[in-house]
Structure 1
């Protein structure tokens, strides 16, 4: 029994020193790994941030281009048929959207969802306006939509506000 006690007394400090060294070495390695990841992330952000900002700029331009007032001034009716005019506007919105599809990789899922919802809500508003009986021609429809007598909130404004909020969060 005395021999076991002597061995434990002789080996005990070495085990304690070994355990302490292990924990120090382990925490040092974790800290170094975290530092390397931080530096790599920082280097990547330097390259990615301009691309993200460019994506936000392009989607801002998209939302401004599909803003009903801007869109209706830019896209004039080809015929007097109000349904054909709304179809033309909807096709223009879809074309603008498809042109900017790749930008979604730089946005959060929520922001991209808001932009898609904005586009869809705008097309839905346009299609609902065709059903109004007092509007008989594409030109009347255009004037009606520009004046916005229903007082509906512009979906592109909501998306643009969300986009601006997300950009501000990049710098906080």
Structure 2
């Protein structure tokens, strides 16, 4: 028993020192791990934020490019009839959309849905207005009716998507 007490005098303090050292080292390693994670996160943010902003810029540009006034001015060529112009407008919208498909990874799914809805609403508007006109008439009639129909919309889907984009950009800076 005396030997056990003698050994305990040396082992017990060393166990206490060992446990204290273990707790201190474990806490230090946890803090270092958290610091490394935070540094990695900040580093990623510094690289990703500019890319995300570029994606928002490209999507705003896409929405502005498919706006009826800019789309019609950009795509109108002399000598086209309503049917040809309708096809040209719809193809231009789809091409613009395809060029920006990859931007969806940088925005929220809800925002991407609004952008797709704006694109589809424009295609539907153009197709609906083209159905009301004689296909062989001058493209001027389609231009006029598309712009007028868009102006009559209470909340144009393009404007809704642009506002949603701006709101989501605002969330980045908070």
TM-score bracket for the superposition, by shorter chain length: 0.7 to 0.9
What secondary structure, in the 3-state scheme, does the structure 2 residue paired with 1:79 have?
coil
Q: Tell me if 1:123 matches 2:123.
A: yes
In terms of mean alpha carbon deviation, does 30-39 or 72-81 score higher? 72-81
Change (3 A) 1:42 1:146: same
Q: Distance in 2 between matches of 1:85 and 1:36?
A: 57
- Cα deviation, residue 43, structure 1: 1.3
Aligned to 1:164: 166
Kindly report the root-mean-square deviation, in angstroms, between the aligned alpha carbons of the 2 structures: 2.8
Aligned to 2:102: 102
Q: Which deviations, in whole Å up to 9, do the C-alpha atoms of 1:63-95 show, x marking residues without a partner? A: 1111112111221155223x3322211100111
Q: Distance in 1 between matches of 2:69 and 2:20?
A: 70
In terms of mean alpha carbon deviation, does 24-33 or 157-166 score higher? 24-33
- Cα deviation, residue 13, structure 1: 8.0
Q: Tell me if 1:62 matches 2:43.
A: no
Structure 1 residue runs of 5 or longer lacking an equivalent are none
Aligned to 1:46: 46
- Cα deviation, residue 58, structure 1: 1.3
Change (3 A) 1:38 1:74: same
TM-score normalized by structure 2?
0.77
- Cα deviation, residue 37, structure 1: 0.8
Structure 2 residue runs of 5 or longer lacking an equivalent are none
Q: Residues 1-172 of structure 1 correspond to what in structure 2 (within 5 A)?
A: 25-76=25-76, 78-81=79-82, 83-132=83-132, 135-136=133-134, 137=137, 138-148=139-149, 150-151=152-153, 153-172=155-174
Q: Distance in 1 between matches of 2:110 and 2:172?
A: 15
Q: Which deviations, in whole Å up to 9, do the C-alpha atoms of 1:7-29 show, x marking residues without a partner? A: 99x98887777666655544443
Number of aligned positions between the proteins = 169
